[in-house]
Amino acid sequence: MRANKQSARPRLGGRGFLLIFALVAVAVSFIAWRRSDGGAGVARRPGLGDVIPRGAVLVAELDVAAVRAHPLTRGIWDGVRTLEGMGDVATICGRDPLDQVERLAVVVPSDSDAGFGVIALGPLDARALLDCASRVVEARGGSPLRERRGAFEKLTDRSVQHAGAMLLVKDGGPLVLAEPSYAEAVLAVARGAAPSLGSDALHREERAAVGEGDFVLTAVLTDEHRRIVRDELSRAAGSEALAHVLGGGVSLRLGAALTAKAAFRCDDAGACQVLRGTLEQSLRAARESPAVLLLGLAGVLDRVRVEARGQRVELSAVMPEDEAVAVVRRLIAFARVGDAATDEEGQSPSGIPSEVHRAPPRLPSAEGQSPPGLPSASTHEPRHALPHPR
Protein backbone atom coordinates (compact mmCIF):
# COMPACT_ATOMS: atom_id res chain seq x y z
CA MET A 1 0.00 0.00 0.00
CA ARG A 2 2.79 2.39 0.92
CA ALA A 3 4.54 1.50 -2.27
CA ASN A 4 1.43 2.46 -4.26
CA LYS A 5 1.22 5.85 -2.50
CA GLN A 6 4.84 6.58 -3.19
CA SER A 7 4.51 5.68 -6.84
CA ALA A 8 1.50 8.00 -7.12
CA ARG A 9 3.58 11.08 -6.21
CA PRO A 10 4.39 13.27 -9.20
CA ARG A 11 7.98 13.22 -10.37
CA LEU A 12 9.81 16.18 -11.95
CA GLY A 13 11.74 14.24 -14.49
CA GLY A 14 14.31 15.74 -16.85
CA ARG A 15 11.93 18.31 -18.34
CA GLY A 16 10.83 19.49 -14.90
CA PHE A 17 14.40 20.13 -13.77
CA LEU A 18 15.08 22.03 -17.00
CA LEU A 19 11.98 24.17 -16.41
CA ILE A 20 13.00 25.04 -12.84
CA PHE A 21 16.55 25.81 -13.97
CA ALA A 22 15.19 28.12 -16.68
CA LEU A 23 12.90 29.93 -14.21
CA VAL A 24 15.76 30.44 -11.74
CA ALA A 25 18.02 31.74 -14.53
CA VAL A 26 15.34 34.21 -15.63
CA ALA A 27 14.81 35.39 -12.04
CA VAL A 28 18.55 35.90 -11.46
CA SER A 29 18.89 37.74 -14.76
CA PHE A 30 15.98 40.00 -13.91
CA ILE A 31 17.43 40.88 -10.50
CA ALA A 32 20.83 41.62 -12.05
CA TRP A 33 19.19 43.76 -14.73
CA ARG A 34 17.30 45.74 -12.08
CA ARG A 35 20.55 46.39 -10.22
CA SER A 36 22.40 47.43 -13.37
CA ASP A 37 21.94 50.41 -15.66
CA GLY A 38 19.16 48.66 -17.54
CA GLY A 39 16.73 48.61 -14.61
CA ALA A 40 14.06 51.22 -14.15
CA GLY A 41 14.99 51.53 -10.49
CA VAL A 42 18.53 52.76 -11.29
CA ALA A 43 18.64 55.31 -14.10
CA ARG A 44 21.80 55.29 -16.20
CA ARG A 45 23.53 58.64 -16.39
CA PRO A 46 23.52 59.76 -20.02
CA GLY A 47 26.79 60.22 -21.84
CA LEU A 48 27.53 62.98 -24.33
CA GLY A 49 26.74 60.59 -27.17
CA ASP A 50 23.20 60.22 -25.78
CA VAL A 51 22.61 63.98 -25.83
CA ILE A 52 24.29 65.14 -29.06
CA PRO A 53 22.05 64.93 -32.15
CA ARG A 54 23.08 62.61 -34.93
CA GLY A 55 24.53 64.20 -38.06
CA ALA A 56 27.54 66.08 -36.69
CA VAL A 57 30.53 66.92 -38.85
CA LEU A 58 32.86 67.36 -35.88
CA VAL A 59 32.58 66.43 -32.21
CA ALA A 60 35.26 67.35 -29.65
CA GLU A 61 34.82 65.90 -26.16
CA LEU A 62 36.80 66.79 -23.04
CA ASP A 63 36.86 64.95 -19.72
CA VAL A 64 36.98 68.02 -17.48
CA ALA A 65 37.27 65.93 -14.32
CA ALA A 66 40.43 64.27 -15.66
CA VAL A 67 41.89 67.63 -16.69
CA ARG A 68 41.29 68.97 -13.18
CA ALA A 69 43.02 65.98 -11.60
CA HIS A 70 46.12 65.46 -13.76
CA PRO A 71 49.38 67.24 -12.78
CA LEU A 72 50.00 68.35 -16.35
CA THR A 73 46.68 70.18 -16.74
CA ARG A 74 45.61 70.89 -13.17
CA GLY A 75 44.84 74.59 -12.79
CA ILE A 76 44.07 75.20 -16.48
CA TRP A 77 40.32 74.66 -16.07
CA ASP A 78 40.04 75.60 -12.40
CA GLY A 79 40.81 79.04 -11.08
CA VAL A 80 39.00 82.34 -11.01
CA ARG A 81 36.90 83.00 -14.10
CA THR A 82 36.14 86.65 -14.69
CA LEU A 83 33.78 88.62 -16.91
CA GLU A 84 35.33 91.78 -18.29
CA GLY A 85 34.02 94.85 -16.51
CA MET A 86 32.04 92.78 -13.98
CA GLY A 87 34.56 90.85 -11.89
CA ASP A 88 34.82 87.16 -11.13
CA VAL A 89 31.90 84.83 -11.70
CA ALA A 90 31.90 83.44 -8.15
CA THR A 91 31.38 86.94 -6.72
CA ILE A 92 28.57 87.74 -9.16
CA CYS A 93 26.74 84.46 -8.69
CA GLY A 94 27.73 83.33 -5.21
CA ARG A 95 29.73 80.48 -6.74
CA ASP A 96 30.98 79.52 -10.14
CA PRO A 97 28.36 77.11 -11.54
CA LEU A 98 30.81 75.78 -14.14
CA ASP A 99 32.73 74.08 -11.32
CA GLN A 100 30.09 71.33 -11.57
CA VAL A 101 30.94 70.47 -15.18
CA GLU A 102 32.48 67.01 -15.59
CA ARG A 103 32.39 66.50 -19.37
CA LEU A 104 32.22 69.03 -22.17
CA ALA A 105 31.63 68.79 -25.92
CA VAL A 106 31.78 71.24 -28.80
CA VAL A 107 29.75 70.09 -31.80
CA VAL A 108 29.69 71.32 -35.39
CA PRO A 109 26.51 70.00 -37.06
CA SER A 110 26.31 69.10 -40.72
CA ASP A 111 23.81 71.92 -41.23
CA SER A 112 26.09 74.92 -41.77
CA ASP A 113 23.26 77.31 -40.80
CA ALA A 114 22.96 75.81 -37.31
CA GLY A 115 26.20 77.33 -35.98
CA PHE A 116 27.65 75.05 -33.35
CA GLY A 117 26.66 73.79 -29.93
CA VAL A 118 28.37 73.52 -26.56
CA ILE A 119 27.08 70.70 -24.36
CA ALA A 120 28.14 69.98 -20.78
CA LEU A 121 27.39 67.16 -18.36
CA GLY A 122 27.69 66.97 -14.60
CA PRO A 123 25.59 67.31 -11.44
CA LEU A 124 24.40 70.72 -12.61
CA ASP A 125 22.12 72.99 -10.57
CA ALA A 126 19.77 74.41 -13.22
CA ARG A 127 18.43 77.22 -11.04
CA ALA A 128 21.89 78.39 -9.97
CA LEU A 129 23.14 78.40 -13.57
CA LEU A 130 20.13 80.29 -14.91
CA ASP A 131 20.13 82.77 -12.01
CA CYS A 132 23.78 83.49 -12.69
CA ALA A 133 23.29 83.88 -16.45
CA SER A 134 20.24 86.11 -15.88
CA ARG A 135 22.23 88.44 -13.63
CA VAL A 136 24.95 88.76 -16.27
CA VAL A 137 22.40 89.50 -19.03
CA GLU A 138 20.75 92.20 -16.89
CA ALA A 139 24.09 93.72 -15.90
CA ARG A 140 24.90 94.14 -19.58
CA GLY A 141 21.62 95.85 -20.42
CA GLY A 142 19.79 92.78 -21.67
CA SER A 143 16.37 91.37 -20.78
CA PRO A 144 16.52 87.70 -19.73
CA LEU A 145 13.54 85.50 -20.54
CA ARG A 146 13.16 82.13 -18.82
CA GLU A 147 10.81 79.45 -20.10
CA ARG A 148 10.15 75.80 -19.36
CA ARG A 149 10.74 73.32 -22.21
CA GLY A 150 9.88 69.87 -20.94
CA ALA A 151 12.54 68.82 -18.44
CA PHE A 152 14.71 71.77 -19.46
CA GLU A 153 14.66 75.44 -18.59
CA LYS A 154 15.50 77.85 -21.39
CA LEU A 155 17.10 81.28 -21.12
CA THR A 156 17.21 83.81 -23.96
CA ASP A 157 17.82 87.54 -24.21
CA ARG A 158 14.65 89.10 -25.61
CA SER A 159 16.37 92.46 -26.11
CA VAL A 160 18.35 90.96 -29.01
CA GLN A 161 16.56 91.72 -32.27
CA HIS A 162 17.70 88.58 -34.07
CA ALA A 163 17.55 85.26 -32.27
CA GLY A 164 21.01 84.45 -31.03
CA ALA A 165 22.22 81.68 -28.77
CA MET A 166 19.99 80.20 -26.11
CA LEU A 167 20.86 78.40 -22.91
CA LEU A 168 19.12 75.13 -22.01
CA VAL A 169 19.72 73.51 -18.63
CA LYS A 170 18.27 70.44 -16.97
CA ASP A 171 18.77 69.66 -13.29
CA GLY A 172 21.59 67.15 -13.10
CA GLY A 173 22.61 67.97 -16.69
CA PRO A 174 22.94 68.46 -19.53
CA LEU A 175 23.64 72.12 -20.27
CA VAL A 176 23.33 73.30 -23.87
CA LEU A 177 24.46 76.61 -25.38
CA ALA A 178 23.49 76.80 -29.04
CA GLU A 179 21.58 78.63 -31.72
CA PRO A 180 17.81 78.00 -31.72
CA SER A 181 17.78 75.41 -34.54
CA TYR A 182 20.46 73.27 -32.94
CA ALA A 183 18.98 73.71 -29.46
CA GLU A 184 15.68 72.37 -30.84
CA ALA A 185 17.55 69.38 -32.26
CA VAL A 186 18.95 68.62 -28.80
CA LEU A 187 15.45 68.86 -27.30
CA ALA A 188 14.17 66.43 -29.93
CA VAL A 189 16.86 63.92 -28.92
CA ALA A 190 15.93 64.38 -25.25
CA ARG A 191 12.26 63.60 -26.09
CA GLY A 192 13.29 60.50 -28.00
CA ALA A 193 11.93 62.02 -31.22
CA ALA A 194 15.32 62.08 -33.01
CA PRO A 195 18.41 59.82 -33.05
CA SER A 196 21.52 60.69 -31.06
CA LEU A 197 25.19 60.58 -31.97
CA GLY A 198 25.40 57.20 -30.27
CA SER A 199 23.59 55.68 -33.27
CA ASP A 200 26.03 57.19 -35.79
CA ALA A 201 28.12 54.28 -37.08
CA LEU A 202 30.67 56.53 -38.83
CA HIS A 203 31.51 58.53 -35.69
CA ARG A 204 31.71 55.29 -33.71
CA GLU A 205 34.16 53.95 -36.29
CA GLU A 206 36.36 57.04 -36.06
CA ARG A 207 36.31 56.89 -32.27
CA ALA A 208 37.25 53.21 -32.26
CA ALA A 209 40.19 53.97 -34.58
CA VAL A 210 41.81 56.38 -32.09
CA GLY A 211 40.58 54.82 -28.84
CA GLU A 212 39.16 56.41 -25.74
CA GLY A 213 40.92 59.35 -24.12
CA ASP A 214 40.49 62.38 -21.90
CA PHE A 215 40.17 64.41 -25.09
CA VAL A 216 38.59 62.81 -28.16
CA LEU A 217 37.77 64.47 -31.46
CA THR A 218 35.98 62.76 -34.34
CA ALA A 219 35.11 64.18 -37.75
CA VAL A 220 32.98 62.81 -40.58
CA LEU A 221 33.02 64.92 -43.73
CA THR A 222 29.98 65.28 -45.95
CA ASP A 223 30.30 65.54 -49.72
CA GLU A 224 29.87 69.30 -49.43
CA HIS A 225 32.65 69.62 -46.86
CA ARG A 226 34.95 67.47 -48.98
CA ARG A 227 34.27 69.75 -51.95
CA ILE A 228 35.22 72.76 -49.81
CA VAL A 229 38.42 71.00 -48.72
CA ARG A 230 39.32 70.24 -52.34
CA ASP A 231 38.73 73.86 -53.36
CA GLU A 232 40.79 75.21 -50.46
CA LEU A 233 43.68 72.83 -51.11
CA SER A 234 43.66 73.03 -54.90
CA ARG A 235 46.56 75.50 -54.94
CA ALA A 236 48.56 74.00 -52.05
CA ALA A 237 51.46 71.81 -53.13
CA GLY A 238 51.57 68.30 -51.71
CA SER A 239 48.04 68.44 -50.30
CA GLU A 240 46.25 66.42 -52.99
CA ALA A 241 45.95 63.39 -50.69
CA LEU A 242 43.97 65.39 -48.14
CA ALA A 243 41.17 65.76 -50.68
CA HIS A 244 40.67 61.96 -50.34
CA VAL A 245 40.08 62.11 -46.56
CA LEU A 246 36.57 61.01 -45.53
CA GLY A 247 36.98 61.52 -41.80
CA GLY A 248 39.28 61.05 -38.88
CA GLY A 249 39.85 61.38 -35.19
CA VAL A 250 42.26 62.42 -32.45
CA SER A 251 42.57 61.16 -28.88
CA LEU A 252 44.74 62.32 -26.02
CA ARG A 253 45.03 60.30 -22.82
CA LEU A 254 46.56 61.64 -19.62
CA GLY A 255 48.33 59.33 -17.21
CA ALA A 256 51.83 58.30 -16.19
CA ALA A 257 52.55 58.93 -19.86
CA LEU A 258 50.90 61.26 -22.33
CA THR A 259 49.44 59.13 -25.16
CA ALA A 260 48.27 60.74 -28.39
CA LYS A 261 46.80 59.12 -31.48
CA ALA A 262 45.34 60.46 -34.71
CA ALA A 263 43.80 58.62 -37.63
CA PHE A 264 42.58 59.60 -41.09
CA ARG A 265 40.19 57.54 -43.22
CA CYS A 266 40.70 57.75 -46.98
CA ASP A 267 38.47 56.80 -49.88
CA ASP A 268 41.36 54.87 -51.44
CA ALA A 269 44.27 52.86 -50.03
CA GLY A 270 46.64 54.43 -52.55
CA ALA A 271 45.66 57.91 -51.39
CA CYS A 272 46.46 56.85 -47.82
CA GLN A 273 49.97 55.83 -48.87
CA VAL A 274 50.47 59.24 -50.48
CA LEU A 275 49.09 60.94 -47.36
CA ARG A 276 51.49 58.97 -45.16
CA GLY A 277 54.42 60.20 -47.26
CA THR A 278 53.15 63.79 -47.08
CA LEU A 279 52.83 63.64 -43.29
CA GLU A 280 56.30 62.13 -42.83
CA GLN A 281 57.79 64.84 -45.05
CA SER A 282 56.00 67.53 -43.06
CA LEU A 283 57.31 66.11 -39.77
CA ARG A 284 60.88 66.08 -41.10
CA ALA A 285 60.57 69.68 -42.26
CA ALA A 286 59.06 70.76 -38.94
CA ARG A 287 61.86 69.06 -37.02
CA GLU A 288 64.43 71.28 -38.76
CA SER A 289 62.47 74.50 -38.34
CA PRO A 290 64.09 77.24 -36.19
CA ALA A 291 61.15 77.43 -33.78
CA VAL A 292 61.23 73.68 -33.06
CA LEU A 293 65.02 73.72 -32.58
CA LEU A 294 64.81 76.79 -30.36
CA LEU A 295 62.18 75.21 -28.13
CA GLY A 296 63.91 71.85 -28.05
CA LEU A 297 60.89 70.08 -29.50
CA ALA A 298 62.75 67.91 -32.02
CA GLY A 299 62.63 65.00 -29.58
CA VAL A 300 58.84 65.33 -29.40
CA LEU A 301 58.50 65.01 -33.17
CA ASP A 302 60.90 62.06 -33.18
CA ARG A 303 58.37 60.16 -31.06
CA VAL A 304 55.63 60.42 -33.70
CA ARG A 305 55.05 57.25 -35.68
CA VAL A 306 53.16 57.29 -38.99
CA GLU A 307 51.66 54.14 -40.50
CA ALA A 308 49.34 53.44 -43.42
CA ARG A 309 47.01 50.48 -43.02
CA GLY A 310 44.64 49.96 -45.91
CA GLN A 311 42.31 52.95 -46.06
CA ARG A 312 43.67 54.49 -42.85
CA VAL A 313 46.70 56.55 -41.89
CA GLU A 314 47.56 56.53 -38.18
CA LEU A 315 49.87 58.77 -36.16
CA SER A 316 50.81 57.91 -32.58
CA ALA A 317 53.14 59.17 -29.89
CA VAL A 318 53.82 58.37 -26.24
CA MET A 319 55.66 60.74 -23.92
CA PRO A 320 56.49 60.26 -20.21
CA GLU A 321 54.77 62.73 -17.93
CA ASP A 322 57.99 64.44 -16.79
CA GLU A 323 59.04 65.10 -20.39
CA ALA A 324 55.57 66.43 -21.22
CA VAL A 325 55.75 68.82 -18.25
CA ALA A 326 59.18 70.04 -19.40
CA VAL A 327 57.87 70.68 -22.92
CA VAL A 328 54.87 72.65 -21.65
CA ARG A 329 57.12 74.72 -19.39
CA ARG A 330 59.32 75.61 -22.35
CA LEU A 331 56.27 76.65 -24.37
CA ILE A 332 54.99 78.80 -21.49
CA ALA A 333 58.39 80.45 -21.06
CA PHE A 334 58.50 81.19 -24.79
CA ALA A 335 55.00 82.67 -24.66
CA ARG A 336 56.00 84.93 -21.75
CA VAL A 337 58.98 86.21 -23.73
CA GLY A 338 56.65 87.05 -26.60
CA ASP A 339 54.26 88.78 -24.22
CA ALA A 340 57.09 90.90 -22.81
CA ALA A 341 57.89 92.08 -26.34
CA THR A 342 54.56 93.93 -26.63
CA ASP A 343 55.21 97.40 -28.00
CA GLU A 344 54.06 100.70 -26.49
CA GLU A 345 51.04 100.98 -28.79
CA GLY A 346 49.51 97.93 -27.13
CA GLN A 347 50.20 95.61 -30.05
CA SER A 348 52.16 92.40 -29.76
CA PRO A 349 54.67 91.47 -32.46
CA SER A 350 51.97 89.32 -34.06
CA GLY A 351 49.52 92.21 -34.16
CA ILE A 352 47.27 90.80 -31.44
CA PRO A 353 45.98 93.48 -29.04
CA SER A 354 47.80 93.29 -25.74
CA GLU A 355 44.63 92.87 -23.71
CA VAL A 356 44.03 89.45 -25.26
CA HIS A 357 47.67 88.46 -25.79
CA ARG A 358 48.17 86.79 -22.44
CA ALA A 359 50.63 84.16 -21.36
CA PRO A 360 49.12 80.78 -20.48
CA PRO A 361 48.94 79.79 -16.82
CA ARG A 362 51.92 78.24 -15.11
CA LEU A 363 51.91 74.58 -14.32
CA PRO A 364 50.82 73.67 -10.79
CA SER A 365 53.42 72.99 -8.14
CA ALA A 366 54.00 69.59 -6.60
CA GLU A 367 51.38 70.35 -3.95
CA GLY A 368 48.77 70.75 -6.66
CA GLN A 369 48.41 74.52 -6.22
CA SER A 370 49.05 77.04 -8.90
CA PRO A 371 52.14 79.09 -8.11
CA PRO A 372 51.96 82.86 -7.60
CA GLY A 373 51.35 84.84 -10.74
CA LEU A 374 48.74 82.49 -12.22
CA PRO A 375 46.63 84.69 -14.46
CA SER A 376 42.87 84.50 -14.10
CA ALA A 377 40.85 82.61 -16.70
CA SER A 378 39.40 85.83 -18.01
CA THR A 379 36.91 85.64 -20.81
CA HIS A 380 36.23 88.46 -23.21
CA GLU A 381 32.48 88.41 -23.63
CA PRO A 382 30.38 90.49 -26.03
CA ARG A 383 27.68 92.80 -24.75
CA HIS A 384 25.30 90.03 -23.74
CA ALA A 385 25.92 86.88 -21.74
CA LEU A 386 24.45 84.69 -24.46
CA PRO A 387 26.67 85.43 -27.47
CA HIS A 388 26.04 84.27 -30.99
CA PRO A 389 28.10 81.08 -31.03
CA ARG A 390 29.68 81.72 -34.42
State the Cα–Cα distance between residues 44 and 56, nearest whole angstrom: 24
Mean pLDDT over each residue of the chain, to the nearest integer: 77
Q: Rounded to 5 degrees, what angle do the CA atoms 231, 236, 240 make? A: 70
Q: Where are the beta strands (DSSP E) in 39-98?
A: 56-63, 81-83, 87-88
Residue extents of the structural domains in the chain = 46-197, 200-338
CA-wise closest residue to 171 among 100, 84, 272, 252 = 100
pTM of the model: 0.73
Provide the pLDDT confidence category of residue 257 given band limits of 50, 70 and 90: very high
What b/e string do you get for 365-381 counting C-beta neighbours within 10 Å, with b at 16 or more? eeeeebeeebeebbeeb
Beta strand 166-169 with 144-149 is unpaired
Provide the pLDDT confidence category of residue 45 given band limits of 50, 70 and 90: low
Percentage of the chain modeled with pLDDT above 70:
71
State the Cα–Cα distance between residues 102 and 232, nearest whole angstrom: 37
> Is 70 exceeded by the pLDDT of residue 24?
no
Query: How is the beta sheet containing 56-63 ordered, strand by strand?
Result: 144-149, 152-157, 166-169, 175-178, 117-121, 103-109, 56-63, 215-220, 245-253, 257-266, 312-320, 305-309
State the Cα–Cα distance between residues 231 and 294, nearest whole angstrom: 35
2-16, 42-56, 171-185: least confidently modelled range: 2-16
Contact at 8 Å (CB) between 187 and 168?
yes
3-state secondary structure 249-260: EEEEECCCEEEE
